[in-house]
A and B are shown apart, each in its own frame.
Chain A
Amino acid sequence: MTKRYWNAYQKEIAEDHYFYERSCIRQTFFPGSEAAFLRIMREELHKDIKDEANQHTCTGIGYHSDIVPLETTMTVVARLFSLMQEDGYTNYVPSCVTSFGIFSEMIDIWEHQPEMLEKTRENLYKATGREFAIPSNLAHPSDIIYKFREELKKNMKYQLVNRFTGKPLRVVEHVGCHYAKIFPERGIGNAEFPYVLAGMIESWGGEVVDYPERRHCCGFGFRHYLLQENRGYSIANSKKKFESMEPYEPDFIVCNCPGCTMFMDKWQYTIAEMENKTYDKEGYGIPVLTYEEMAGLLLGYDPWELGLQIHQVQAENLMNKIGIKYNPDEKYRGVNGKILPKPERPSVLKQ
């Protein structure tokens, strides 16, 4: 058997008592994912996790766009850590991969430059009168789901198996750059073959698609998208990935980063409109899920509570393949029980 070196790249992940920090953009684009994570932690794994009401941005998008200076980011990060300390927690769990990268980077700077840590303590105290402690454990939520993937499997109603053929579903996994490319040793499986999502897929019955552009950028790339003039670079990168994965006929894509999930989902619509092209045989596109959505579906959670109707590429075909039961009449029911108007259908991408 081939020795897989990346199996050696494991990290310490706390067992319990987590402080959860939500993402700025995930709550807009995949509003059910964070709720699903908290439900999984509390109802399936019976863990203690704090969802702090006074949390705020980590500055990640502003920081990586050179809008927010380093010292400001450090102070903002310090305030988030002070909330964790105030709530009596030491295990920090940021929902967003970019936040995970930001926290990893700030902690690393503080470890190497103690004078920066002291300056941050001073800035935070002057600005807010608060003090903070560095977390004893920093893990991304996908790390935690990976850690407990076998426990979760026991509660799952479905597997990643095509019920018509009995074969494993073919899954493209895409791990966010800021998960392991900044600090490879802090990601499960390191940067070249990150195993955090692949481990979930394999444990839950699926098959990971190893396609040539597997490690290529999803197309977000911050400036590539944030500057309108650069958006051609963004969509060109996504297109390159879709073309590379197309021959393998993947059943769906799963990501652990908000940027990747959004761009690989939304650009399929744009490419379909621009070039009349979809990357599946039937014209529906390739569904793109967050790992919480993937876990939630297999656990039997209502797909509309998970927020799958918010995605650009719809997941009914995938759910049919797995055998997941859902009520199509409930798809657009709002939280107040009122049925919302159906969104306009795209001209090319079928729904």
Chain B
Amino acid sequence: MKKIAIIGAGPAGIEAASILASHDCEVQLFEKSADTLSNITDKAFLFPDFSSAQELANKLNSQLLNDKIKVILNTEIVDIKKDNDDFKIIDRDGKTYVADKVLITTGYNVFDAHRKEELGYGIYKGVITSLDMERMIRHKQITNSIGEEPEKVVFLQCVGSRDEKSGNHYCSKVCCVTAVKQAIEVRKQLPKAQIYVFYMDLRMWGQGFEELYREAQEKYDIRFVRGRISEASATFDSRVQIKSEDTLIGQPLKMTTDLLVLMVGMEPSKGTRTLAENCGIAGPYKFIASEGPHTNDNNTATEGIFVAGTAKRPMSIRDTLTDATAAALEMLK
């Protein structure tokens, strides 16, 4: 019986653990937090079908009810060392675990919006992130900085993605459709609000995404403006003033809004960066590098160490689960 260590109990880790256990592997699933799936349970609804994030989390968690899967919570893995035919998995306290093969599914963190100082996150209360908005949607409490129902809500795409200043030149892939999804949710909760989405270009690459974008305009009266916001500042009445350029009409634009929602992109999580560096398998932007761009995408440069999900690049939940399946099958070879 193969002994497998999976590091990170997000969707990729759980999906792979479930498949490997069903193929008679003994799986240790490590998670640094006190609970699994934190990057799913912090959301309300999922694109493109508005299904419940909590229901998906429940379904995935149910896959862990398997005698061959041992979930080890509150354990941060910081290094993996080859030891003859085995791997030694080392946690923050120096405790060692042994496995035949290792799968890294340490995932992503959202971009820290404080780093885009000109957008005022953490300075002005009316500036929030897409994660903050997700909480507001879930609790049905979309309010401005003084606790009132907002009359205007502005979403800004590509915060910390495709951005020279933050050093993240890559696209985070999921923010475009997430903004469309959130804008529709806001419309459902605030029928009278004016809702704008500022974008560079909308990358509606997935099945159902383009239709959702069209529906947002036609059915939900969401207004899309092609332009980046150069700066945000507080007004005397605690609202947020933004400056941009509408690049389709070539005119500068100034607008005051109650809420500015920053669509924060994906960055490698702390765990991903630590293992990428300590195991010598770091790729661009300190995501974990897979072996090849077309084939062997779940292998790393170290034989026996595999990678799946957003630990290697931004991807949607659907793509993450597919990738985890592929990784599990690769490990069974």
Contact = CB atoms under 8 A, between A and B. Distances in A.
B329 to A, nearest CB: 43
A148 interface: no
B114 A3 contact: yes
Nearest to B116: A192
Contacts of B234: 210, 212
A327 B63 CA distance: 84
Determine chain A's interface SS by DSSP, over half rule. loop
A5 B115 CA distance: 7
Contacts of A211: 233, 236
B122 A3 contact: yes
Contacts of B231: 192, 215
A126 B115 CA distance: 48
A339 B133 CA distance: 66
B65 interface: no
B118 interface: yes
Interface string B107-143: 0000000110110001100000000000000000000
A192 B117 contact: yes
B241 interface: yes
A182 B207 CA distance: 44
Nearest to B241: A212
Determine chain B's interface SS by DSSP, over half rule. mixed
B296 interface: no
Interface residues on A, range: 10 to 19
Interface in A233-274: 247-248
B118 A212 contact: no
B66 interface: no
Contacts of A210: 123, 233-234
A215 B235 CA distance: 13
A2 interface: yes
Contacts of B115: 5
Contacts of B233: 210-215
B122 A2 contact: yes
Nearest to A189: B117
A214 B114 CA distance: 19
B44 to A, nearest CB: 26
A160 to B, nearest CB: 21
B210 to A, nearest CB: 36
9 contacts: A4-B122, A190-B117, A211-B233, A212-B234, A212-B235, A212-B241, A213-B233, A214-B233, A215-B233
The 10 closest A-B CB pairs, nearest first, are A192-B117, A247-B236, A212-B241, A212-B233, A2-B122, A192-B118, A212-B235, A5-B114, A193-B117, A3-B114
